[in-house]
Amino acid sequence: METTQRDDQQRAAEQRRRELLEAADRVVLRDGPGASMNAIAAEAGITKPILYRHFGDKGGLYRALAVRHTDGLLDGLRSALDAPVARRERVESTLDAYLAAIEARPQVYRFLMHPADEGQSSDQGFDVGRHSAPLLRRMGEELARVIAERVDLGPGGEDLARTWGHGIVGMMHAAGDWWLREQPFPRAQLVRHLTDLLWGRLAVAGDRSDGPGF
């Protein structure tokens, strides 16, 4: 009986947490980097102390939202990387999956990466850099793992795969950040330009004989 009650309480807590994150998403989509704990609490119909009880502080809420959105983005990147098409098309699809995600929800992207320069939140002492860097590292490690599994890079391949993984993520982030701000040309053109940049050694590297290929 106690176990069942505990399970019910845990499910209820998880459901409530999802509801609060959905409320936070709505505020971020509306207010972007200026989204505050006060606004999120009001959207959820609760007081700020209750919101703190669930997430601790804005950093805790930020991390929960970051995991939520990064998980979705990584799913999209994995699908693009595993598509049964030629390697260049797969590279293009992977770049496009990232850029399409930030284009579709620019306010979420700005909240996660650039709160201070787009609109200051009323919450003080929140260091976005301390929280956003792990998101980029996580994507870099994920991409490195996929590259190592699919491309034969020869001796030192693991180190090279990690270098490429983090380098590609850094390139996508920097180029995407610039492009999202200025919108100088269509997304497809940016995808082609970045693919051309990557299409050097990757084009001539062989597939791993013990992996799924790339």
Q: Is the pTM of this model over 0.85?
A: no
pLDDT more than 90, % of the chain: 30
**b (16+ CB within 10 A) / e for 13-25:** eeeeeeebbebbb
Tens of pLDDT, residue by residue over 73-118, are 888 888 888 888 888 998 999 999 999 999 998 988 888 887 554 4
Residue partners of 30: CB distance under 8 A and separation at least 6? 107
Query: CB–CB of 91/195 below 8 Å?
Result: yes
What's the token pair of residue 176?
């995407």
Q: Where are the domains of the chain?
A: 2-207
How distant, in Å, are the alpha carbons of 100, 155, 200, 212 from that of 161? 24, 11, 15, 16
Tens of pLDDT, residue by residue over 134-171, are 778 888 998 898 888 888 888 888 999 999 999 999 99
C-alpha span between 33 and 15 (Å, rounded):
26
Question: What average pLDDT score do residues 35-61 get?
Answer: 87
Which residue(s) pair with 206 in the sheet? 152
CATH number of 2-207: 1.10.357.10
